[in-house]
Amino acid sequence: MESLAEHRRVSGPVVYGFLRLLRASAARQGGALMASLAEYCRSHELLLSGVFTERSAATGSAAFTGLLDVLALPDTYGVVAPAASHLGTKPIAGERQKRIETAGARLLLVRGLRSPRPSGHGPTSPPSAGRRRRSLGPAPALDAET
């Protein structure tokens, strides 16, 4: 009898990571951000095949060009980044997101949506004095910050 797929090593869709590290500390560069990409891919059954890292603010970076090159490979599903801010400033990020989509890939953000409010802070709770009420819906991708 064949074993179930859950008991076999099955590789998920292939994704590539993208990090923009202009002023990040060494611990954040090497550990936390890479770990967040790896954990996101593991929990969503994605195969993280590589990570491209941009370390300069230049718009024509070799890291992003390399990312676009691998997106042309067969069986590439998409790009995973910690947040939209890793694609650059808002105008640059918007253009890069369009280029990723034009390549036929999906952009997956580890922190793409704002987390829900803790209990007691929902729409049925009375608003606190001096606080503005925020939308519970998803945040636009370009408003997510690291």
Q: What CA dihedral angle connects 132, 138, 143 and 146, to 10 degrees?
A: 100
7 pLDDT tier (thresholds 50, 70, 90):
low
**Digit-coded pLDDT (tens) for 27-48:** 566 688 889 999 999 999 999 9
Higher pLDDT, 28 or 6: 28
pLDDT of 137: 38
pTM of the model: 0.67
What average pLDDT does the structure give for the chain?
76
**Digit-coded pLDDT (tens) for 64-87:** 999 999 999 999 999 999 999 999
pLDDT of 130: 45
* Tokens encoding 146: 């690291």
Q: What is the DSSP track for 57-100? A: --SS-HHHHHHHHHHTSTTEEEEEESSGGGG-SHHHHHHHHHHH
All domains of the chain, ordered by start, with CATH? 12-113 (3.40.50.1390)
